[in-house]
Amino acid sequence: MTYANLFRLDGRHIVVVGGGSGIGREAVRALAAHGADVTVADRDVKGAAETARLAQEEPPAPGSRTGTATPYELDVLDAEAVRAAAAAWGAPDGLVVTVGANVRKRIVDYTLEEFDRVVALNLRAHFALVQAVAPAMAERGSGSVVGLASMRAIQVEPGQSVYAASKAGLVQFLRTAAAEWGPRGVRFNAIAPGVVRTPLTDQIAADPEWYDAYAQASALRRWAGAEELAGAVQYLVSDASTFVTGSVLTVDGGWTAVDGRYEPTV
C-alpha cells in the first residue's frame, strides 16, 4: 500500500450517471482532479458537456495529472439505452449513480403517475444500471458502485412517503448486490446526504421559513453544498475504501445524530 496514492484514480475509468448537475457534477470534478477518466452520463447532454468542461479546468495536484471527462447522453429510464451504454463502457472501475426525483405530497394526494416516476428514477434506474454494468466488473474481479440514497431512508417527515420508501429500497438493493457480487470483488455502497442545495431542493429554498428550519435541524446548523458530497464519492471509489461494502455513509451534518428540534438548558 502506497498511502500517498490512497485516493488517486490515475488511469481508472469512472462512470457518473447524473453528472450533468448537482452532486453528480461536483463528483465528476473531484474524480477527474484525482486522475480519473470520467464518463459524464446524463439525459441533459449540454449539462454533461458543461460538467466535462469544468472538470478539465481543475488544476492538478503538484506532480499529478488531471484526468479526462467525456459527456455521454443517457436516459436512465430507457432500458435499451442503458444496455447499449453498458456495452460501450465495458467494465468501468467505478459506477456512481446520482439521478433521483422527489414529489413532496401527502400520501392521500399522490398520483400513481407521480409514484411511478419517483420509484423509477430512485430505484428502477439503479437496478437497470447495476444489472447491466456489474457483471463485467465481476468478470474482471474488481469494481465499486456508489448510489445516492438519503437520510430519508431512515428518518422521515410528512410528505416524503414515496421518496423515503424508494431511498430505503435503494439501500437494501445495494446491500443485496454487495452480498451477491462481493465474492467476485465488486463493492456496493450508498451515500445518505442530508439537506443539500441542488435543483432538487428549489421548492424548499423558495420558502425562507422552510429553508431555515432545515438549516437549524442539523448539528452544523446549515445546508450542505453539492461539493461537500464529492469527498464521500471519492472515498468510496478509491483504494481508501477497499474493505467497505454494503455500507451507508451518512453525510448529513449530524441531522440524524441529534434531535434538532429543541435545545434544553442543562
Inter-axis angle of helices 112-119 and 161-181, nearest 10: 30
Is residue 91 domain-resident?
A: yes
* 101-142 confidence digits (pLDDT tens): 999 999 999 999 999 999 999 999 999 999 999 999 999 999
Q: Using CA of residue 13, residue 18, residue 23, residue 29, what is the dihedral sign? A: positive
Q: Is 163 a catalytic residue?
A: yes
For residue 264, what pLDDT band results from cuts at 50, 70 and 90? Answer: low
Would you state the pLDDT for residue 59? Answer: 84
Is residue 160 domain-resident?
A: yes
Give the pTM.
0.95
For residue 249, what is the domain's CATH number?
3.40.50.720
Q: How many domains are there within the chain?
A: 1
Mean pLDDT, residues 177-200 taken together: 96
72, 110, 163, 235: which is the annotated catalytic residue? 163
Q: Which DSSP category does 118 fall into?
A: H
Is residue 264 domain-resident?
A: no
30 sits in which H/E element? helix 22-33
Mean pLDDT, residues 158-167 taken together: 97
Is residue 103 domain-resident?
A: yes
Give the domain extent around 196: 9-254
* 218-239 confidence digits (pLDDT tens): 999 999 999 999 999 999 999 9
Q: Rounded mean pLDDT of the chain? A: 95
Cβ–Cβ < 8 Å for 55, 26: no
Q: Nine-digit cell at 91?
A: 467494465
Would you state the pLDDT for residue 13? Answer: 98
For residue 263, what pLDDT band results from cuts at 50, 70 and 90? Answer: low
Q: Nine-digit cell at 136?
A: 463485467
Q: In Å, how far from its chain's centre is CA 240?
A: 18
Would you state the pLDDT for residue 261? Answer: 65
Identify the bridge partners of residue 47 per DSSP, sorted by sequence position.
Answer: none
Is residue 262 domain-resident?
A: no
**What are the residues whose beta carbons fall under 8 Å from the beta carbon of 45, sequence distance 6 or more?**
20, 71, 72, 73
Identity of the amino acid at 224: A
Would you state the pLDDT for residue 201? Answer: 87
Q: Half-sphere exposure of residue 65, counting CA atoms within 13 Å on the CB side?
A: 10
Question: b/e for 190-222, b at 16 or more Cβ within 10 A?
Answer: bbbbbbbbbebbeebeeeeeebeebeebbeeee
Is residue 3 domain-resident?
A: no
Q: What are phi and psi of 257, to 5 degrees?
A: -95, -20
Q: What are phi and psi of 68, to 5 degrees?
A: -110, 165
Is residue 266 domain-resident?
A: no
Q: What are phi and psi of 12, to 5 degrees?
A: -95, 145
* 82-111 confidence digits (pLDDT tens): 999 999 999 999 999 999 999 999 999 999
Mean pLDDT, residues 200-227 taken together: 92
Is residue 205 domain-resident?
A: yes
* 65-81 confidence digits (pLDDT tens): 889 999 999 999 999 99
Mean pLDDT, residues 23-43 taken together: 97
